[in-house]
Amino acid sequence: MSFKSLGLSEPLLRAISKKGYETPSPIQAKAIPPVLEGKDVLASAQTGTGKTAGFTLPLLHNLTKQQSQRHRPIRALILTPTRELAAQVYTNVKEYSEFLDIRSAVIFGGVNQKPQVATIKNGIDVLVATPGRLIDLENQGLLSLKRVEIFVLDEADRMLDMGFLRDIERVMKLIPNKRQNLMFSATFSKDIKKLAYSILNRPVQVEATPENTAVEVIEQKVYRVAKTKKTGLIIKLISEGDWQQVLVFTRTKHGANRLTKKMISAGVTAAAIHGNKSQGARTKALAGFKNGKIRVLVATDIAARGLDIPLLPHVVNFELPNISEDYVHRIGRTGRAGASGEALSLVSADETSYLKNIEKLIAQKIPIEIIEGFEPDPNASTEPIKPGQNRQRNPRRNNKPKGESEGSSSRNSNRNRSRNRNRRRNNDNRN
């Protein structure tokens, strides 16, 4: 099968050829025909299998069936959960529409809205957006979604994980009832399918691989290790293996920052990427990682969605995710487009249940290895550590000397205000 046999237009075929694509991936071969026919589509495929081209190529083809209007209202809306994914999708739209009379734009939070608004005012056909910035600009009257013909919900499972359900429902009220709907995701839970059937109209359901199956070309391995020895082990693996490009996952933003600092201290160039980082810092870190100036990119799950890094050889789970499906997303950053890859997980005793759940999800046992000098702690508990459980307690908190109550109260009040500001900042930065 070729892209030409799918019925795509000649300008699109030229753009595909320029990218070096020869044959469509399984998800592209299954999704493109029904999208071209104008049908609603519910598509599930592993990450790294070409989902983005699966909806952008036929979307662009359908938009060019009608001549571009003078004022160019937004005719296609692609909604993504993260800034990085929005930027990646926008890049693909630009590349595929190189030989078409199609204008596109991307909008997301964390950056000045003025350049984004200026682009929209000049007229665009395709808008790629994260929910927060989209709703914000619409509320300000700076964009209209009343002429949207095609609506795409990308990475729908992550949308729900990040709490965007209400935002999605608000967006649905802003676009016309008569439209084509496409929903693409790596996994589909029952909640996602419930959402899908509330949005889609008689959808064609396509699936390239079984749900939640790890990419088969990825070599997976577990290193059992004491929790306190993880940092030393990962630095040893990277240094002795002479790994030049490694994506490392932590569960928390603070954990990503700590690990990055320790790696830099050990002479390993590294950068962290997570929701608390400014968009400029995230873009700079990703660019440095892609061009080889930074060997290690330490990321949280949310920030990693949308990271498209060609031929990424190594992914390391410094900490296993407590949500098993996130493991599939993480390791799917390597082994993309048919290339081989290696996914390693450093597992301490308190992550035992996480590992069992992951193996159950992917229906396979992951090989285990123990490295001399980094053995697991035989006395450590296998109970998962709850958030905040390992924080040190202040021995003076419940035993304050007289005369300190007022000052302590003031400090606590300041801490609370700081926490509230951080929570607001996190919400502002989440998309």
Whether 303 shows a pLDDT value over 80: the answer reads: no
Q: What is the mean pLDDT of the chain?
A: 84
pLDDT at 225: 96
> Is 250 a member of any domain?
yes
Choose among 278, 251, 282: nearest CA to 429: 278
pLDDT at 401: 36
> Is 420 a member of any domain?
no
How many domains does the chain contain in total?
Answer: 2
Average pLDDT over residues 62-76: 82
Tens of pLDDT along 261-280?
999 999 999 999 887 888 78
pLDDT at 310: 67
Q: Where is pLDDT greater, at 257 or 83? A: 257
pLDDT at 308: 67
pLDDT at 418: 47
Q: Dihedral (C-alpha) 226, 228, 229, 235: value to the nearest 10 degrees?
A: 140
Q: How confident is the model at residue 70 (pLDDT cuts 50, 70, 90)?
A: low
Residue type for position 106: V
> Is 302 in the same domain as 185?
no
Decide: 321 and 354 in contact? Cβ < 8 Å.
yes
> Is 403 a member of any domain?
no
> Is 295 a member of any domain?
yes
> Is 107 in the same domain as 135?
yes
Tens of pLDDT along 208-234?
765 555 556 688 999 999 999 999 999
Tens of pLDDT along 340-360?
689 999 999 999 999 999 999
Q: How far is CA 282 from CA 86, 151, 276, in A?
A: 13, 28, 10
> Is 252 a member of any domain?
yes
Tokens found for residue 162: 């990040």
pLDDT at 415: 47
Whether 311 shows a pLDDT value over 50: the answer reads: yes
Distance CA(162)–CA(139), nearest Å, equals 22
> Is 251 in the same domain as 191?
no
Tens of pLDDT along 33-48?
999 999 999 998 766 6
> Is 167 in the same domain as 297?
no
> Is 52 in the same domain as 196?
yes
Indicate which CATH number applies to the domain containing 233.
Answer: 3.40.50.300
Q: Where is pLDDT greater, at 155 or 181? A: 181
> What residues contact 102, with CB distance under 8 A and at least 6 apart?
60, 63, 64, 68, 93, 125, 126
pLDDT at 158: 81
Whether 371 shows a pLDDT value over 90: the answer reads: yes
> Is 238 in the same domain as 313?
yes
> Is 87 in the same domain as 48?
yes
Tokens found for residue 300: 């949280």
Listed residues 346, 369, 392: the one ending a domain: 369
Decide: 342 and 314 in contact? Cβ < 8 Å.
yes
Whether 147 shows a pLDDT value over 50: the answer reads: yes
pLDDT at 391: 42
Choose among 337, 319, 335, 339: nearest CA to 327: 319
Q: What is the DSSP string of 19-52?
A: HT--S--HHHHHHHHHHHTT--EEEE--TTS-HH
pLDDT at 427: 45
223: part of which helix (H) or strand (E)?
strand 218-224
Average pLDDT over residues 161-174: 90
**Facing residues of 296 across strands?**
246, 270
Tens of pLDDT along 3-39?
889 999 999 999 999 988 888 988 899 999 999 999 9
Average pLDDT over residues 202-211: 78
> Is 415 a member of any domain?
no
Listed residues 207, 230, 260: the one ending a domain: 207
Give the percent of the chain with pLDDT over 90. 54
Tokens found for residue 178: 């008569």
> Is 202 in the same domain as 245?
no
Q: Where is pLDDT greater, at 246 or 283? A: 246
> Is 224 in the same domain as 108?
no
> What residues contact 107, with CB distance under 8 A and at least 6 apart?
86, 113, 116, 120, 127, 128, 129, 130, 133, 134, 137
**Predicted TM-score of the model (pTM):** 0.66
> Is 227 a member of any domain?
yes
Distance CA(165)–CA(369), nearest Å, equals 41
> Is 35 a member of any domain?
yes
Average pLDDT over residues 149-168: 89
> Is 22 in the same domain as 105?
yes
Residue 155 structural domain = 4-207
Listed residues 166, 181, 207: the one ending a domain: 207
> Is 259 in the same domain as 302?
yes
- Neighbouring CB atoms inside 10 A of 66's CB total 9
Q: How many residues does the chain have?
A: 431
Distance CA(347)–CA(358), nearest Å, equals 12
> Is 127 in the same domain as 166?
yes
